[in-house]
Copies of this chain bind each other. A is one copy, B any other.
Amino acid sequence: MSKDKPSIPKGTRDFGPATVVKRNHIFSVIKRTFEKFGFLPLETPAMENLSVLTGKYGDEGDQLIFKILNSGDFLSKVTAPDLEAGYKPLTRRIAEKALRYDLTVPFARYVVMNRNEIAFPFKRYQIQPVWRADRPQRGRYREFYQCDADVVGTNSLLCEAEIILMMDEVLSTLGLDDFTIKFNHRGLLAGMAEVIGANGREADLCVAIDKLDKVGQEAVNEELRQKGITEEAITQLQPILGLTGNVVDLLPQLDRLMVGSEEGQRGVQDIRQMLTFLESFQLRNAKIELDVTLARGLSYYTGCIFEVKVNNVQMGSISGGGRYDNLTGMFGLPGVSGVGFSFGVDRIFDVLEELNLFPQESQTITQVLIANFDEVSMRYALPVLQQLRAADISTELYPDSTKLKKQMAYADQKQIPYVVLIGSEEMASGLLNLRNMRTGEQQSLSLEQILQTLSPNATA
């Protein structure tokens, strides 16, 4: 047995109680919102067949998939030429399984495998960890949770409108009051390329435009030039990139600009339809913004795309998504359109921490510690303990009769808000001593009164 100081793999994390409790607060708001909107939970295995994952994330993605060594004698069917062929071909010989890299591919696999049992449109959410062999760095982990919700099997733009509603509800419920949901449409990006005479070059345009925020318009133009976009096209692009204002003003301008592009027209119409739906709803805190330079997931999104930024906080997008026309085509089932989005829990966690938005209640698990003076007081405490728990109050009795100071330190460290003290006086009178650990205040109360004070069902 190794007596070395143990450690955890780079890029992974232990979540101690205080952190789990805060993360669960985020998860439960997300989960509750997804369910309120009619999404049902799905869970897929951590391990997928490697063949299911390979080729879905590009060459770079394939390299970042964690492969699982075949169990038993993985060399038994490996030949000398296999060993000499290099690590990539050898990988397929000795590793048949891999850890999931995202939740989208497993979802597509699930839909294809269960297409005869599923009620379409299928609204599912999935909150599970994924694994990527990325180089660990600040804010980037090798194991992290994704929180996805997708609808497949309908083209209705109600789904897009509801994505905006869910983003608004989750983030508002978590206490954020200044964030912007940016959206754009793949058709507008294609149309933009078309109308400036750079047909089909939207990928290059977008890669460059994506840096607009960071490097400024001049640097973007320079990149476009280097990519062989004509000077004329770049000139024509400028007014489009310069479009600002609220969506009501923007849409007619875009409509005119895109008059020569079918794709562009599709984008304008989809956005108009989505906004029509949104008009019937009230948003709580979200600002919405049509950003014609927003480009993400170009290789798979085909309709609306979304991204959420918290204003006045240094942090990348905390949520995003879009519509894709062909989720399950990779598994031989074409024509299944869907739209989905996800929340970045690690980033939301950091934002809530920075803005001090985790509610105190959500951080308390154990409500009461009963101090343990001696055997007699301990025996007296046992039925008290049971009655507090029966009233749904999380309670523990310190298991050893040790120094009170140590027990109080324990309550402090565990952030237990109340300590019940039962000494000889208390046993004689039946009035127990309830100490509020935050204020230091102590009260002599009957068990009845304590139950009333602390019960989660009591009216405060």
Chain A positions near chain B (C-beta within 8 angstroms)? 1-9, 12-17, 20-21, 24, 35-38, 40-49, 51-52, 54-56, 63-64, 66-69, 71-76, 83, 86-87, 90-91, 94-97, 99, 109-110, 112-114, 117, 119-121, 123-124, 129, 131, 133, 142-143, 151, 154-156, 158-159, 165, 277, 280-282, 330-332, 365-366, 369, 378-379, 382-383, 386, 389, 392-397, 399-400, 409-410, 413-414
Partner of A143, one of B13, B24, B47, B394: B47
**Cβ of A90: which chain B residues have Cβ within 8 Å of it?**
75
Q: Are B156 and A399 in contact (CB under 8 A)?
A: yes
In this complex, what residue of B is CB-closest to A156? B399
Partner of A131, one of B20, B44, B47, B277: B47
Q: Which of A66, A72, A120, A409 has the most CB of B within 10 A?
A: A66
Q: Are B14 and A41 in contact (CB under 8 A)?
A: no
**Least distance between A379 CB and chain B CB atoms (Å):** 7
Partner of A109, one of B6, B73, B396: B6
**Cβ of A332: which chain B residues have Cβ within 8 Å of it?**
3-5
Q: Assuming A55-B1, A69-B95, is B382 touching A40 (CB within 8 A)? A: no
**Least distance between A418 CB and chain B CB atoms (Å):** 12
**Cβ of A63: which chain B residues have Cβ within 8 Å of it?**
71-72
Q: Are B399 and A159 in contact (CB under 8 A)?
A: yes
Partner of A75, one of B67, B69, B87: B87
Q: Are A379 and B280 in contact (CB under 8 A)?
A: yes
In this complex, what residue of B is CB-closest to A17? B40
- Per the bound structure, the CA–CA distance linking A109 and B9 in Å amounts to 12
Closest 7 CB pairs of A and B: A38-B396, A17-B40, A156-B399, A280-B382, A12-B45, A71-B133, A119-B413
- Per the bound structure, the CA–CA distance linking A261 and B120 in Å amounts to 68
Q: Assuming A9-B97, A99-B68, A414-B40, is B2 touching A52 (CB within 8 A)? A: yes
- Per the bound structure, the CA–CA distance linking A277 and B165 in Å amounts to 53
Partner of A49, one of B6, B46, B73, B379: B6
**Least distance between A260 CB and chain B CB atoms (Å):** 29
- Per the bound structure, the CA–CA distance linking A12 and B109 in Å amounts to 14
Q: Which of A13, A87, A378, A383 has the most CB of B within 10 A?
A: A87
Q: Are B400 and A36 in contact (CB under 8 A)?
A: no
Q: Are A24 and B41 in contact (CB under 8 A)?
A: yes
Q: Are B41 and A395 in contact (CB under 8 A)?
A: no
Q: Assuming A35-B394, A49-B6, is B156 touching A400 (CB within 8 A)? A: yes
**Cβ of A67: which chain B residues have Cβ within 8 Å of it?**
68-69
**Least distance between A389 CB and chain B CB atoms (Å):** 5
Q: Are A399 and B158 in contact (CB under 8 A)?
A: yes
**Cβ of A383: which chain B residues have Cβ within 8 Å of it?**
280-281
Q: Are B68 and A66 in contact (CB under 8 A)?
A: yes
Partner of A71, one of B45, B64, B331, B389: B64
- Per the bound structure, the CA–CA distance linking A66 and B99 in Å amounts to 11
Q: Are B94 and A69 in contact (CB under 8 A)?
A: yes
- Per the bound structure, the CA–CA distance linking A386 and B165 in Å amounts to 10
- Per the bound structure, the CA–CA distance linking A3 and B445 in Å amounts to 71
In this complex, what residue of B is CB-closest to A378? B158
**Least distance between A58 CB and chain B CB atoms (Å):** 11
In this complex, what residue of B is CB-closest to A332? B3
Q: Which of A6, A36, A83, A131 has the most CB of B within 10 A?
A: A6
- Per the bound structure, the CA–CA distance linking A393 and B35 in Å amounts to 9
A-B contact pairs, 14 of them (CB 8 A): A1-B330, A2-B55, A2-B331, A3-B331, A8-B44, A12-B46, A15-B43, A20-B40, A45-B143, A66-B69, A68-B69, A121-B410, A154-B400, A281-B386
Q: Are B47 and A9 in contact (CB under 8 A)?
A: yes
**Least distance between A256 CB and chain B CB atoms (Å):** 26
- Per the bound structure, the CA–CA distance linking A17 and B107 in Å amounts to 12
- Per the bound structure, the CA–CA distance linking A350 and B29 in Å amounts to 30
**Cβ of A51: which chain B residues have Cβ within 8 Å of it?**
2, 4
**Cβ of A96: which chain B residues have Cβ within 8 Å of it?**
9
